[in-house]
Amino acid sequence: MPKFNEVKLPPRILICGEPAAGKTGALAQLANAGYRLMIHDFDQNSRVIGSYLTDKAAEVYLNTYAAAKITGTNLFAGSGQASKQALSEMRRFCSMLEQWKVAGAEDLGACTSWTAHDVVVIDSGTFLGELLLLAAQEDPETKKDGRSLYNVAGKYYGAILDHLTGNKMGATVIMLTHLMQTGEKDDQGKIVGKARDVPVGVGEKFSKKMQTYFSDIWHLEVDRAGNRTFKTAATDKASLRTSAPSLIKGAEPYDLASMLDRLTGSK
């Protein structure tokens, strides 16, 4: 049986935050520190990091997916049903998670060959969920009973997270996502009592579950003065955590590269 430190996986990090909190911009800090980025862009907004990169930044590879940001509407380019195009995009995404290979362009090898200094980024988990909801409409289970849509999409999401956080993935994994409030609800569906923040995945049930996949769950907060801080300690409002409490403080400055350096043992 292998020793504990021999089976330790690279970091699996879930970063939550409000829109425009700086989640995507923080990725440039990683490239500038020498981490090679493989970004799966569902928000179609990741190109903004280009303005933050230095001349000495490591390679940043970007693959953008057509995704409907309003579920059930056909916002895809071209003709055909949005659900069928979403299914095709989902399959392309899963293939890229196993081996980043673009026809006529780069081939970065299989996921088993990547290291902790290769960072697979999902930007964002929110719109990945929207894509999976559309793709799930083509599933036989959903076609048989439309009420199973969120259950099927949740199964898709779970399978993807199994791969991203499993031992075949040699890279560091960072998923960016937004937040939703959950809690006990009244007959009208309004939250009563104490509300809690959970990351957005697909539907409330799976969004609560997706936290269990990640070793680190951080909340990027912005105060009234515009100062950004990574919160990593659990509160009565959010289930945050870090896999290395001796290395990562409960509140960290806006320096994602420094935090990852400590988790990977780079510094």
Question: Residue 7: is its pLDDT beyond 60?
Answer: no
Average pLDDT estimate for 8-33:
90
* Residue 216 phi, psi dihedral angles, 5° rounding: -130, 130
Read off the pTM: 0.89
Percent of the chain with pLDDT over 70: 87
In angstroms, the Cα distances linking 43 to 24, 160, 177 are 10, 18, 10
How many C-beta neighbours within 10 Å does residue 97 have? 20
* Pairing, β 251-253 against β 179-182: unpaired
Which stretch of 205-209, 229-233, 252-256 has the lowest confidence by average pLDDT? Answer: 205-209
Confidence at residue 15, expressed as pLDDT on a 0 to 100 scale: 95
Q: Is 246 exposed, middle or buried (0-12, 13-18, 19+ CB in 10 A)?
A: exposed
pLDDT in tens, 130-185: 899 989 999 999 999 989 999 999 999 999 999 999 999 999 999 999 887 665 65
The mean pLDDT value of the chain amounts to: 86
